[in-house]
Amino acid sequence: MIDDHYLCELHLHLDGSLPVETVKYLAEQENLSLSDITGSASSEEASEKYKDAGDSFMKTEILKPQLSVSEDCRDLNEYLTKFRIPLALLQTEDAIYDAVKAVGHAEEELGVDYVEIRFAPQLHLEKGLTQRQVIEAAADSAVYFNADHDTKIRLILCCMRGDDNREANMETVRLAAEFIHEAQDKHVEPSDSAYKKVFIPSAKGRTLPVVAGVDLAGAEALYPTENFADIFLLARELDVPFTIHAGEAAGPDSIWTALNFGAKRIGHGIAAIQDESLMRYLTDNNIVVECCPTSNLNTKAVSTITEHPIREFLRHGIRVTVSSDNTTVSNTNLIREFELLEDAGLTAEEKYLLYKNAEDGWM
């Protein structure tokens, strides 16, 4: 808690936020080298350079550049390449369990009270897991973490933009519905294993499903939002809350499409600044916009922090929030995001509004 307000992070990707030490630990558990994971010549050259350093695990100085973007990152598509290593490691139940716990600990160290961690179950099936097993591993980790820590974790299940994964996306939505509604079933006893997987005591003193809802993530410019109407038709039919990445690498039309699908939250959404009527709609309909300033700088969605529309969104009365998106990929965290904005002129009143919007913006 900061300044008597809960510190809440609503937009945080599991695979993009694994601490470097956790990546090293997971690689050791699998007895993998950096070149084993990436198959990259540059990784092999780096490993050769440091082979006499004496440690049995991958060196941080080798690994960190493989996990984080540089200032020369060209766009979102290049940014997304940094997920290759963590995704390669997050293919077992134990690894997923450990990853959720590690991100929870990192958030707790920052003083975060509540965090929604998102991931795509369909990206963790390379070693034979089912989507259900992936979600159960993450949910188990969140529940056990929540029992022992003041920081509370909930999960958002991402559907992915792509050409041939419709059925995988539909399965993600169905499983989200199952976990959410099972949690809300008053006939489920506390001793039931399913109950343990889906309930947490929230920071607001309420009990909520640990699975909060679903999302649509991935390469927005390559796979337009309009292509995924059936996912969100199903989500509405099954009463599953959802957010959608929109207006990050595409224009205002992508946000309008997400809103027409029924989204009550928008991931990034910075293209809304180009459309005055869209900003009015966001304000009038209490839509939460999950801004991630450093990530937007990394992907060249904005050129400088002073150009970021977050303060203009506040002036319009939009319920905008601040998150770090991917702490490891972007070399950031929630505290640094606020410091970056304060350096660019964020006022105490604006900071208060950002805190409040996040606290009121949970799924």
| CATH 3.40.309.10 for the 8-21+92-359 domain, yes or no | no
Domain boundaries of the chain, sorted by first residue = 8-21+92-359
pLDDT digits (tens, 9 = 90+) for 254-313: 999 999 999 999 999 999 999 999 999 999 999 999 999 999 999 999 999 999 999 999
Supply the pLDDT for residue 54: 39
Supply the pLDDT for residue 202: 54
Q: Which residues of the chain have pLDDT under 50?
A: 40-57, 191, 195-196, 198
Residue 172 corresponds to which amino acid?
T
Residue 90 corresponds to which amino acid?
L
Element (H, E) at 117: strand 114-119
Clarify whether 78 is annotated catalytic. no
Closest to 118 measured CA to CA, from 286, 22, 289, 242: 242
Supply the pLDDT for residue 193: 52
The structure tokens 């509370």 sit at 152
Supply the pLDDT for residue 50: 40
- Return the biggest CA–CA distance within the chain: 61
DSSP 186-205: TTS-TTSHHHHHHEEE-TTS
Residue 8 corresponds to which amino acid?
C
Catalytic site residue from 107, 116, 248, 359: 248
Q: Virtual CA dihedral for 359, 146, 131, 162, nearest 10 degrees?
A: 30
For residue 171, the tally of other CB atoms under 10 A from its CB is 17
CA distance 107 to 98: 14
| pTM (global) more than 0.95 | no
CA distance 85 to 89: 6
